[in-house]
Amino acid sequence: MDNGVYTLDAAPYLLGHPRPLTASGASANIFGHSPDGHWDPEAFTVEDFGTAFIRLEGGISLFFVHAWASNFTEQWQVRIAGDQGAAELRPFGPDPRLRLTHGDYGNLADTTPTTLPEGSTDVGYAVGRFVTAIRKGETSPIADETFLYTNAIFDALYASARLGREVSIEL
């Protein structure tokens, strides 16, 4: 939950924050006990890998995998496939990328913009907007339900992992 929240929050944001309905999750402690880490493996007590399948309103499903330590060179990406196109987002690393396609299955056109929107690869941009809103007494640029949905999803994922089955998300 400590850093998977950023990945989990990004996908619903890109989908327009549909209401979460159910979640099925699993977690593991795979790399935390590795002797080549920069921590004491004997004191490692949290999960370092998690998977989730989340059903959202509107017939949308979200498959989510997060690991803060893994054997992949590229650590963060979001891929969205829809009936009218797809999006692939890799915001971090030496070469941030956004790839958009539009069209039917057999006739996809690359519609990737040549420049990215302001702040799209800068976490400080979003934090700065939030701090400015607080200082000026303005409404948060992040809608309340986004916090509620993300936390409710994580609560359901932990319950699902503990119970070994899909659970309903209570809001």
pLDDT tens sequence across 119-147: 666 667 878 888 999 999 998 887 777 88
Question: Model pTM?
Answer: 0.76
More confident residue, 147 or 156: 156
pLDDT tier, 158 (very low <50, low <70, confident <90, very high otherwise):
very high
pLDDT at 156 > cutoff 90: yes
pLDDT digits (tens, 9 = 90+) for 103-114: 887 888 988 888
Separation of alpha carbons 114 and 96, rounded Å: 12
Q: Which long-range contacts (CB under 8 A, 24 or more apart) does 57-66 make?
A: 57/18, 57/19, 57/20, 57/21, 58/18, 60/15, 60/18, 62/11, 62/12, 62/15, 64/4, 64/7, 64/8, 64/11, 66/3, 66/4, 66/7, 66/8
Residue spans per domain, the chain: 4-168
| Token pair in block for residue 14 | 């890109």
Residue with tokens 């040549």: 114
- pLDDT band, very low/low/confident/very high, at 74 (cuts 50, 70, 90): low
- What distances in angstroms separate CA 63 from CA 38, 55, 99, 164, one per listed residue? 30, 9, 19, 17
Topology (CATH level 3) of domain 4-168: Dihydrodipicolinate Reductase; domain 2 (3.30.360)
